[in-house]
Structure 1
Amino acid sequence: MDDDLDGMSRDELADEVRRLRAGVRAHRDASGHDLCWHHPDLWALLPERIAPDIAVPPWPRFLRGCVRYRESLDREKPDAAVHDREFED
């Protein structure tokens, strides 16, 4: 699956690590409403180009999952800044 790495030079591998780190940092640094979105840009860092086969829960279950995620942020990051803005496209 990662055979493409075998032919890379040290400099090419270092560039790849930097590219991947930048993508992970962008995902890690998401804040506000950006926490709620799926992240195809993160998946696009992989060399294989496949359409992700995602499954979406029905609305009530999906919303319960969102609430549980938000509750986990209260527990795990109680000192997080508050982003008190409505979502806008």
Structure 2
Amino acid sequence: MDHDLDAMTREQLISEIRKLRAGVRAHRDATGHDLCWHHPQLWDLLPEQAGKPPIVPAWPQFMRGCIAYRASLDAQCPGAARSEQEYGGGP
């Protein structure tokens, strides 16, 4: 799957690594309501396309997942700052 890397020069590989690191950092640094968004720009850093759209849960299952995700942030980041900011639009 990653055969394209075999043909890259050292400089091209370094450029690819910097591009991937920038994408990972942008995703890592998402905060507030941006944590909840679909991030196709991260997957677009790969040379191949996913091939099919994601399977989206129905609303009740989706909302239970959102609540579980938010609860996991309390467990994994108990000292994180909290925000009272309301959701105001897309990414």
TM-score band by shorter chain is over 0.9
2:24 partner letter = V
- Residue 3 of structure 1 deviates from its aligned partner by 1.3
1:1-89 equivalent positions in 2, closer than 5 A = 1-89=1-89
* Residues 48, 14 of structure 1: alpha-carbon distance in 2 compared, 3 angstrom cutoff: same
CA distance in 2 between counterparts of 1:82 and 1:52 reads 36
1:79 partner letter = G
Q: Which runs of 4+ in 1 moved over 4 A?
A: none
Of 47-56 and 66-75, the range deviating more from structure 2: 47-56
| Corresponding residue pairs, total | 89
- Residue 84 of structure 1 deviates from its aligned partner by 1.5
Can you give the 5+ residue segments of structure 2 that lack an aligned partner in the other structure? none
- Residue 37 of structure 1 deviates from its aligned partner by 0.6
Identity of aligned residues (%): 60
CA distance in 1 between counterparts of 2:82 and 2:50 reads 36
TM-score w.r.t. structure 1 length?
A: 0.93
Matched residue SS, 1:6: helix
